[in-house]
Structure 1
Amino acid sequence: MSDLPLRSQLAVALGRTAAKMSRLAGKGDGSVIGGRIGLRLDPELLTRLAKDRKLVLVSATNGKTTTTRLITSAMTPLGEVATNAFGANMPTGHVSALASAPDARYGVLECDEKYVPMVLAETGANIVALMNLSRDQMDRAAEIWLLAGKWRKALEASPQSHVIANCDDPLVTWGASTAKSVTWVAAGQHWREDSWCCPECGGPLDRRDTEEDSDWRCRQCHFARPRPDWSLRGDHVVDPHGRAIPLDAVQLPGRANRSNAAIALAVVAQFGVPPEQALPLLAQVKSVAGRYTTVEYQGRSIRLLLSKNPAGWLEAFDVLAPAPGPVALSINAQGPDGRDTSWLWDVDYRILRGRPVWVTGERRIDLAARLEAAEVSFTVVDDIEQAVMAVPPGHLDVIANYTAFQDIRTRYGRVV
Structure 2
Amino acid sequence: MTQLPLRAQLASALGRSAATLSRMTGRGDGSVIGGRVGLLLEPDLLRKLARDRRLALISATNGKTTTTRLVTSALLELGEVATNAFGANMPAGHVSALSQHKSAPYGVLEVDEKYLPEVLDTTGAGVVCLMNLSRDQMDRAGEIWLLAQKWRRALAGKPTHVIANCDDPLVTWGASTATQVTWVAGGQRWKEDSWSCPECGGPLERKDSDWGCLECSFRRPQPQWTLDDQVVVDPRGQRWLLDIQLPGLANRSNAVMALAVAEVFGLPVDRALPRLREVRSVAGRYTTVERDGRSARLLLAKNPAGWLEAFDVSDPQLPIILSVNAQGPDGRDTSWLWDVNYGILRGRPVFVTGERRLDLALRLDVAEVPFTLCRTFSEALAMQPPGRVDVIANYTAFQQIRSEFGRAL
TM-score, normalised to structure 2's length?
Answer: 0.99
State how 1:10-409 maps to structure 2 within 5 Å: 10-158=10-158, 160-209=159-208, 214-248=209-243, 250-323=244-317, 325-409=318-402
Cα-to-partner distance string for 1:377-413 (whole Å, 9 max, x where unaligned): 1000101111111110010100000110000011123
CA distances 1:18-59 after superposition (whole Å, capped 9, x unpaired): 111111121111111110111111111101000010000000
Do the aligned partners of 2:162 and 2:175 also contact (CA within 8 Å) in 1?
Answer: yes
Question: 2:241 and 2:151 mapped to 1: Cα distance?
Answer: 32
| Deviation at residue 247 of structure 1 after TM alignment | 1.0
The secondary structure found in structure 2 opposite 1:95 is: helix
Provide Cα deviations, 1:346-382, integer angstroms capped at 9, x if missing partner: 0000110000000000000000000011110100010
Q: What is the TM-score of this pair, normalised by structure 1?
A: 0.97
One-letter amino acid matched to 2:183: W
Residues 101-120 of structure 1: per-residue CA shift (max 9 Å, x gap)? 11110000000001110000
Q: Distance in 2 between matches of 1:94 and 1:180?
A: 25
Residues 250-298 of structure 1 show CA distances to partners (whole Å, capped at 9, x for unaligned) of 0000000000000000000111211111111001110000000001111
AA aligned to 1:164 is: I
Shift of 1:199: 0.1
SS at 1:140 equivalent: helix
User: Residues of 2 paired with 1:331 and 1:42: CA distance?
Assistant: 38
Q: Percent identity?
A: 69
Structure 1 residue matching 2:181: 3-state secondary structure: strand
What is the number of residues matched between the two proteins?
409
Large movers: runs of 4+ above 2 Å = none
Task: Judge conservation of contact 1:297–1:412 (CA < 8 Å) in 2.
Answer: no
- For residue 139 of structure 1, give the secondary structure of its aligned residue in structure 2: helix
Q: What is the SS of the residue equivalent to 2:101?
A: coil
1:2 positional shift: 7.5
Partner SS, residue 69 of structure 2? helix
Please report how far the alpha carbon of residue 142 of structure 1 lies from its aligned counterpart in structure 2 after TM superposition. Answer: 2.2
Whether the 8 Å contact between 2:316 and 2:348 is mirrored in structure 1 is no
User: Cα RMSD between the aligned structures?
Assistant: 0.9
Q: Is contact 2:2–2:52 with CA below 8 Å preserved after alignment?
A: no
Gaps in structure 2 of 5+ consecutive residues: none
